[in-house]
């Protein structure tokens, strides 16, 4: 109990971030309060050892670290209610946490207090075959849910790069997407009802287990993407659909990155409906090949790839569709290299493994900032050109990849050889300019990662003060004393 006996509510900042922290707004868990919390939950549900606190102190956002004062891991909704009642009574900050794979710092306990992890709320409660729905606890790992559904011939489609570790609760908090969102939607389009524990410990269901809902303001949709600032999700009801039996994957190399971007809207305009349509700059795939030790060879002069997946029930139909893709790309006169076709499971897995490892590979090479830009997809070519222009202006290297079918481009700005001083001085200005470009193209500053902590300084670029005022009003209605994940979004 070292962390707690020091009793500080201290935020440990090991790395060079510039987030300001209010340390006195919330009650610090002194020994008495800590003992009271222990008494509320069964043994093993409250942790305050250094290792547990450290585990809860970071996510996958850059190099940020904030220590909580205590970690709770409730096993039931009643436990969550008990924790929230306690926190509400004493005004203690509570930050809910899934697997900590987030990229906006949303799970970081910037005001100390309690981290509430959903790791023990990890049961698949029901797979309702007759209604194509599943009810799960928030700590269920997304891929586990997918596997369990697949056994019944059903698909839960949302598949972030981290699907093997990220949780459904985290996906709800951040409105997570992934490659298949282009055909099947993000978490938002696949969740129909939520059980939520509110700031004061009361519990509600946000909706009903139905496909359409017109019974007052839609709290289900309001909770999705609210980053744990309005309540703690304790059950999630998702929509399922028939599992596509076959997929086919194409890796299309382009000699001009701008053409790869341009091809995205061209393919949709031709009426095609891929289940995934991903963009990777040359540097991104090179980094992934390097990082994974893949034997794949990329032709010289190739500047970008589109990774396209088609899915359906009949292989013959997919092959016809693939032919259409070739024809559309050819008719447009893009200069493309040899298209790689993944048909066997091993071939497809290799292509996807590269794509999924890009994020890790790129971040492995340098200190970075990742921006989750999203624009109308026909604006992708202008976005890419703009990113590079801003980069040259400020001396940043950038590597871009993402869910191009949704217009969602992850821009990774790399520190590389830039000295510390220049990086610090220029990064904020550069990001601001990038986001201004994104908004001027009709887009916004986050498509699927959320605002959390690290995008918060830029919210004014996307939203007016009037708009932000409305968000704050909603926050107050749900969490009048501001104990739920304070310091995030606005």
CB nearer to a copy of itself: give 57 or 61: 61
User: Could you tell me how far CA 309 lies from the centroid of its own chain?
Assistant: 21
Q: Interaction with a copy of itself in 254-313: which residues (CB under 8 A)? A: 265, 268-269, 271, 273, 313
The three-state secondary structure class of 181 is helix
Residue 462 touches a copy of itself, criterion: CB under 8 A: yes
Q: Interaction with a copy of itself in 183-242: which residues (CB under 8 A)? A: 185-186, 188-189, 198, 202, 204-219, 221-222, 224-226, 230, 241-242
d(CA 405, CA 39): 51
C-beta separation of 11 from 23 below 8 A: yes
d(CA 441, CA 190): 28
Joined together, the tokens standing for residue 465 give 């003060």
Binding to a copy of itself by CB under 8 A, coded x per residue (else -) over 369-408, reads ---x-xxxxxx-----------------------x--xxx
Residue 125 touches a copy of itself, criterion: CB under 8 A: no
Beta bridge partners of 235: 195
* Segment interacting with a copy of itself (CB under 8 A) among 129-137, 141-149, 287-295, 361-369: 129-137
User: Least distance in Å: CB of 415 to a copy of itself?
Assistant: 25
d(CA 133, CA 66): 37
Q: Interaction with a copy of itself in 305-324: which residues (CB under 8 A)? A: 313
CB nearer to a copy of itself: give 216 or 293: 216
* Segment interacting with a copy of itself (CB under 8 A) among 288-296, 332-340, 392-400, 462-470: 462-470
* Strand pairing category for 340-342 and 114-117: unpaired
Q: Where are the alpha helices (DSSP H) in 214-334?
A: 219-223, 257-269, 282-292, 315-331
User: Least distance in Å: CB of 211 to a copy of itself?
Assistant: 5
* Segment interacting with a copy of itself (CB under 8 A) among 30-38, 75-83, 338-346, 460-468: 460-468
d(CA 287, CA 293): 10
Beta bridge partners of 316: none
Residue 448 touches a copy of itself, criterion: CB under 8 A: yes
CB nearer to a copy of itself: give 235 or 397: 235
* Segment interacting with a copy of itself (CB under 8 A) among 48-56, 72-80, 85-93, 182-190: 182-190
The three-state secondary structure class of 468 is helix
CB nearer to a copy of itself: give 217 or 344: 217
Task: Return the residue of 39, 43, 130, 346 that touches a copy of itself, per CB under 8 A.
Answer: 130
Q: Which secondary-structure segment (H or E) carries 311?
A: strand 304-312
Residue 24 touches a copy of itself, criterion: CB under 8 A: no
CB nearer to a copy of itself: give 121 or 264: 264
Task: Return the residue of 447, 453, 484, 486 that touches a copy of itself, per CB under 8 A.
Answer: 447
d(CA 412, CA 279): 13
Phi, psi of 342 (to 5 degrees): -95, 115
The three-state secondary structure class of 127 is strand
Joined together, the tokens standing for residue 26 give 């919330």
User: Least distance in Å: CB of 363 to a copy of itself?
Assistant: 20
Residue 84 touches a copy of itself, criterion: CB under 8 A: no
Phi, psi of 276 (to 5 degrees): -150, 145
Task: Return the residue of 12, 19, 474, 481 that touches a copy of itself, per CB under 8 A.
Answer: 474
Question: Total residues contacting a copy of itself (rule CB under 8 A)?
Answer: 87
Q: Interaction with a copy of itself in 136-165: which residues (CB under 8 A)? A: 153
Outline where DSSP puts E strands in 367-423.
Answer: 368-374, 397-403, 408-414
Q: Interaction with a copy of itself in 336-375: which residues (CB under 8 A)? A: 372, 374-375
CB nearer to a copy of itself: give 144 or 444: 444
Rounded CA Rg of the chain: 23
Task: Return the residue of 76, 131, 366, 436 that touches a copy of itself, per CB under 8 A.
Answer: 131
CB nearer to a copy of itself: give 423 or 478: 478
Of 179, 268, 211, nearest to 447 by C-alpha is 179
- Unique residue bearing structure tokens 């028939």: 242
Beta bridge partners of 237: 135, 193
Residue 331 touches a copy of itself, criterion: CB under 8 A: no
d(CA 279, CA 185): 18
CB nearer to a copy of itself: give 48 or 219: 219
Joined together, the tokens standing for residue 457 give 């300084």
């Amino acid at each position: 109990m070292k962390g707690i006996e020091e009793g500080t509510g201290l935020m440990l900042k090991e790395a060079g971030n510039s987030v300001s922290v209010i340390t006195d707004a919330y009650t610090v868990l002194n020994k008495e309060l800590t003992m009271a919390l222990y008494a509320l939950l069964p043994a093993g549900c409250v942790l305050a050892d250094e290792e547990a606190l450290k585990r809860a102190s970071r996510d996958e956002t850059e190099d940020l670290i904030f220590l909580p004062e205590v970690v709770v891991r409730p096993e039931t909704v009643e436990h969550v209610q008990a924790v929230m009642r306690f926190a509400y009574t004493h005004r203690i900050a509570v930050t809910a946490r899934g697997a900590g794979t987030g990229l906006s710092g949303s799970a970081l306990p910037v005001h100390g207090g309690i981290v509430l992890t959903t790791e023990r709320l990890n049961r698949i409660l029901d797979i309702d075959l007759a209604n194509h729905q599943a009810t799960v606890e928030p700590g269920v790992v997304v891929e586990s849910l997918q596997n369990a559904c697949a056994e019944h011939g059903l698909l839960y489609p949302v598949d972030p790069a981290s699907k093997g570790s990220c949780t459904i609760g985290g996906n709800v908090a951040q409105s997570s997407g992934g490659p298949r969102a282009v055909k099947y939607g993000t978490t938002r389009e696949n969740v129909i009802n939520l059980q939520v524990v509110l700031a004061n410990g009361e519990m509600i269901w946000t909706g009903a287990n139905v496909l359409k809902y017109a019974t007052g303001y839609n709290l289900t949709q309001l909770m999705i993407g609210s980053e744990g600032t309005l309540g703690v999700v304790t059950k999630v009801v998702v929509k399922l659909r028939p599992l596509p039996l076959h997929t086919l994957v194409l890796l299309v190399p382009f000699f001009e990155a701008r053409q790869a971007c341009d091809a995205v809207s061209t393919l949709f305009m031709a009426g095609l409906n891929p289940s995934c349509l991903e963009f990777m700059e040359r540097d991104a795939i090179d980094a992934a090949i390097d990082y994974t030790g893949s034997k794949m060879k990329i032709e010289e002069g190739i500047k970008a790839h589109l990774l396209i997946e088609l899915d359906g029930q009949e292989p013959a139909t997919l092959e016809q569709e693939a032919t259409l893709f070739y024809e559309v790309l050819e008719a447009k006169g893009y200069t493309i290299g040899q298209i790689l076709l993944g048909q066997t499971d091993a071939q497809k897995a290799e292509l996807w493994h590269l794509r999924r490892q890009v994020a890790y590979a790129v971040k492995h090479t340098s200190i970075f900032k990742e921006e989750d830009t999203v624009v109308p997809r026909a604006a992708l070519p202008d976005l890419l050109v703009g990113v590079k222009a801003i980069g040259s202006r400020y001396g940043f290297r950038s590597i871009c990849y993402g869910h191009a079918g949704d217009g969602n481009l992850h821009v990774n700005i790399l520190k590389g050889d830039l000295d510390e001083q220049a990086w610090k001085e220029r990064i904020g200005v550069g990001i601001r300019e990038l986001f201004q470009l994104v908004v001027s193209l009709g887009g916004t500053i986050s498509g699927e990662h959320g605002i959390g902590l690290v995008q918060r300084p830029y919210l004014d670029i996307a939203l007016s003060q009037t708009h932000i005022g409305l968000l704050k009003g909603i926050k107050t209605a749900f969490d009048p004393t501001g104990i739920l994940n304070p310091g995030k979004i606005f």
